[in-house]
Structure 1
Amino acid sequence: MDLLFAAATPSPAVPTPTTPMPTTGLDFFSTIMWPFKWIVEAILVFWHWVFTSIGMEANAGTTWVLSIIGLVIVVRSALIPLFVRQIKSQRKMMEIAPELRKVQEKYRGKKDQLSREAMSRETMALYKKHGTTPVSSCLPLLVQMPILLGMFYTLSDVKKHAEWSMGGVGLLNADLTKQFYDAELFSVAPLHVNMIEAWGAGETVTVVILIILVILMIASQFFTQLQIISKNLSPEAKTGQAYQMQKIMLYVLPLAFIFSGVFFPLGVVLYWFTSNIWTMVQQFIVIRNLPTPGSDAAKAREERLARKGKALDAQGKIIPLEKYQAEQQRLFDEAQKAKAEAPKRQQPVSKQRAKKQAQKNTNPPTDA
């Protein structure tokens, strides 16, 4: 366990600093991020200890790349409950969307204060009835951000900390930081170098690796968004401006990774790519097993269940097809019975016709 706190091998000479000396004081942002960075460092160092304990070199690129992958797996696994909660909140918002539109249509064009207050009350009452709010679907994402930022800053700070013989905020001490600094992917591409630095130093292989990773990142992000738009939206969700914005973001959002590929160190790009792969696989599993009701993915799931002799009941539970058909027949019979027992609605008639009908009932025709 000593490797959790110290390097396994002697560190080479300290590199000449090319970055400003990191500040030792804690500003407001650093104070907030400190516990998240500490947790990230602890997980990263733990995985490094695991791999060095089985004989891998402490400063090898493979050791640190696997440690980064292990870091992503642990953090993203811990965030799965938040992801599930976010999915449920989004589903509830989609379910009440038609009712929200009715409220909006009711007060469309009304700008007075009383109308706005009434619209707000009805909207909040609708949220309370269904147990959701727009914030509830965004809250899990907001909770994730400090952890993801902690991962980003921990990996990004490796270069300047190593150049100034410093460690991180926790278990990633100066020796381990230096080992990370010396690590090279495929023994040719330093994990602390970004594309601009590699290009300036003539490190062609590093530039090629970064370009390939950026292309894969863009492709994985595009495929993840495409899954949602093409398979997991109900017909109602495919109308309006929100859907058009999603289609635009399908092509615009992946381009943001070009920026990350140019300015972020290779270690950060590897983390981002691994996280993207996790998101893509996670989204595939959710769409396949918990699709949005009414979407193409939901229809495909129902077809798969039908081929296995199963179906979904009203609560979304998987039941045998015979039981489902019996339940549907029972519900149909109950609906028909209720319809037959319901009092028939009298059609409105004019006063003149009603008077003639009353005279006819009072003086029925007699047989000759």
Structure 2
Amino acid sequence: MTNLFLTQSGGILGPIASLLGWILNVIYEFLSLFHIENAALCIILFTFIVKALMIPLTIKQQKFTRISSKMNPELMKIQEKYKGKRDEVSMRKQQLETQAVYQKYGANPTSGCLPMLITLPILFALYQVIYRIPAYIGDIRSLYESIATGLQSTPDFANTLADNLKVTGLSADSSINSIIDALSKFNTGTWADLAKNFPNLSDVITTNSDKIMHINSFLGGLNIADTPVSKMWPGLLVPILAVATQWYQTKQMTDTNGMDKNAPAAASMKAMNTFMPLFSGFICLTLPIGIGLYWVAGSVFQIIQQFAINRHFEKIDIDKLVEQSVEKAKKKKKHVDYEKTLEELAKKQTKSIGDKAGAYNNSASNSNSIKNKANSNVNTKENNDSANKNYKPGSIAERANLLKGMNSSGKGEK
């Protein structure tokens, strides 16, 4: 069992991939009871089951989407109201008014992102499981292990694989799991070349590879380990179906959102809806058909799921949905009176302006007082100077006049 985990996905996604791999193995063993051994069918059922487990998150996201369709016009008015205003008070007011709208509808700005943040690790782990099926399905692994054991016991097998089949990364010390990782990427033509280059193992290779190809077969003429490019027809059906289903799914979601075509995000959303289907087609064209099959199956399931969810929400009044959301939000956290907070902010702003004006008036008054005093001193000095000009320097009259001036200014008296 220890060696089995060496070929599985590790890191942060390891535990999630192990759980999903266990589900995939259970599905395969269940179908084997009815003598149905087909990895493609397992992938389809596996995708449906995993997507079904994520339905609660999807419903939560859809509720937020519908509440947002009613809430967005008010948010756009707030954005337009404070457009171009970057001062601290305006930004604070915009934030408070936005929070007030969210509270009015019982919505949380992170509600639309949280389901996506939870879903993404599951999707990445799911991709790893499908890409490494032999590491998670014991019966399929045993078929690869028989070939890998024979190769490991063959002298100079790594160089033979590198020179004739362009399989790199292996050495004489490579483990069984490393060899299985390399063999899991073999397609129909590669198995035949492997048997030719290892004639002593040709029987083992042929017998087990035939079973592997039977398990990996899809619609009779496709192998989930092959790429669509290796078999143009009917291989190209997979990327074509991926583009078509992804396009319809994004269109379905756009119609559900009910976004205003004049909204700032409408143009970017339209570009994304065009890009994603083409991107999914490119991915399915370059990767093994098994990955493309998962992509198509996931899109088909989500189309059916979205149709059912739309029918469900059509029966629920949007105002009733908002009311339920508000009640639920009140139970989770304390209600905040944002209107009162805005009034307090406005009072603080007014008081700040008043304090600044008062400080300015006091400053001006003090300035005038100092100025008047200075003018008084200057006038006194000028008068004294003018008076001094009438007396002979050093005379008794001049000294008497100086004493008189000091007394009038309040200084010199005892």
Shorter-normalised TM range: 0.5 to 0.7
Which residue in 1 is equivalent to 2:238? Answer: 213
Structure 2 counterparts to residues 1-368 of structure 1, below 5 A? 24=6, 30-56=10-36, 58=37, 63-158=38-133, 162=144, 165-166=176-177, 183-196=216-229, 198=230, 204=231, 207-229=232-254, 231-234=255-258, 237-291=260-314, 315=320
Partner SS state of residue 249, structure 1: helix
State how far apart, in whole Å, the 2-side matches of 1:314 and 1:289 are. 15
- 8 Å CA contact 2:85, 2:91 repeated in 1: yes
Q: CA deviation at 1:225?
A: 2.2
Q: CA deviation at 1:78?
A: 0.6
State how far apart, in whole Å, the 2-side matches of 1:165 and 1:135 are. 46
State how far apart, in whole Å, the 2-side matches of 1:284 and 1:278 are. 10
Higher mean Cα deviation, 243-252 or 141-150?
A: 243-252
State how far apart, in whole Å, the 1-side matches of 2:7 and 2:303 are. 39
Q: CA deviation at 1:125?
A: 3.0
State how far apart, in whole Å, the 2-side matches of 1:257 and 1:101 are. 33
- 8 Å CA contact 1:86, 1:140 repeated in 2: yes
- 8 Å CA contact 1:194, 1:265 repeated in 2: yes
- 8 Å CA contact 2:222, 2:235 repeated in 1: no
Which residue in 1 is equivalent to 2:156? Answer: none
State how far apart, in whole Å, the 2-side matches of 1:192 and 1:313 are. 47
Partner SS state of residue 320, structure 2: coil
- 8 Å CA contact 2:246, 2:280 repeated in 1: no
State how far apart, in whole Å, the 1-side matches of 2:65 and 2:212 are. 40
Cα distance change of structure 1 residues 263 and 110 upon mapping to structure 2, 3 Å threshold: same
Percent identity, please.
25
State how far apart, in whole Å, the 1-side matches of 2:249 and 2:15 are. 31
Partner SS state of residue 35, structure 2: coil
Cα distance change of structure 1 residues 106 and 195 upon mapping to structure 2, 3 Å threshold: same
TM-score, reference length from structure 1:
0.60
Cα deviation per residue 1:131-160 (whole Å; 9 max; x = unaligned)?
Answer: 323321121111111111111011113479
Partner SS state of residue 86, structure 2: coil
Partner SS state of residue 260, structure 1: helix
Cα distance change of structure 1 residues 85 and 268 upon mapping to structure 2, 3 Å threshold: same
- 8 Å CA contact 1:180, 1:191 repeated in 2: no
Q: Cα RMSD over matched residues?
A: 3.5
Cα distance change of structure 1 residues 23 and 74 upon mapping to structure 2, 3 Å threshold: closer
Q: CA deviation at 1:180?
A: 5.8
Partner SS state of residue 290, structure 1: helix
Gaps of 5+ in 1: 6-21, 169-176, 199-203, 292-300, 302-310, 317-368
The residue type paired with residue 45 of structure 1 is N
- 8 Å CA contact 1:65, 1:267 repeated in 2: yes
- 8 Å CA contact 2:6, 2:177 repeated in 1: no
Partner SS state of residue 112, structure 2: helix
State how far apart, in whole Å, the 1-side matches of 2:318 and 2:257 are. 21
Q: CA deviation at 1:187?
A: 4.7
State how far apart, in whole Å, the 2-side matches of 1:313 and 1:223 are. 25
Cα deviation per residue 1:5-63 (whole Å; 9 max; x = unaligned)?
Answer: 9xxxxxxxxxxxxxxxx99599xx9321011111111111111111110122x4xxxx2
State how far apart, in whole Å, the 1-side matches of 2:28 and 2:5 are. 27
Which residue in 2 is equivalent to 1:358? Answer: none
State how far apart, in whole Å, the 1-side matches of 2:57 and 2:318 are. 26
Cα distance change of structure 1 residues 34 and 180 upon mapping to structure 2, 3 Å threshold: farther
The residue type paired with residue 283 of structure 1 is Q
The residue type paired with residue 189 of structure 1 is L
Q: Which has the higher helix share?
A: 2
Partner SS state of residue 74, structure 1: helix
Q: CA deviation at 1:84?
A: 0.4
Q: CA deviation at 1:129?
A: 3.4
Higher mean Cα deviation, 183-192 or 110-119?
A: 183-192
Cα deviation per residue 1:60-104 (whole Å; 9 max; x = unaligned)?
Answer: xxx211111111111111100000000111222222212212222
State how far apart, in whole Å, the 2-side matches of 1:166 and 1:91 are. 49
Q: CA deviation at 1:284?
A: 2.0
State how far apart, in whole Å, the 2-side matches of 1:313 and 1:71 are. 34
- 8 Å CA contact 1:210, 1:261 repeated in 2: no
Cα deviation per residue 1:227-264 (whole Å; 9 max; x = unaligned)?
Answer: 344x4354x63332322333333322210022212222
Number of equivalences: 255
State how far apart, in whole Å, the 2-side matches of 1:313 and 1:110 are. 33
Cα distance change of structure 1 residues 312 and 148 upon mapping to structure 2, 3 Å threshold: closer
Cα distance change of structure 1 residues 194 and 122 upon mapping to structure 2, 3 Å threshold: same
Cα deviation per residue 1:207-228 (whole Å; 9 max; x = unaligned)?
Answer: 3233111111111111222234
State how far apart, in whole Å, the 2-side matches of 1:23 and 1:32 are. 14
State how far apart, in whole Å, the 2-side matches of 1:312 and 1:275 are. 30
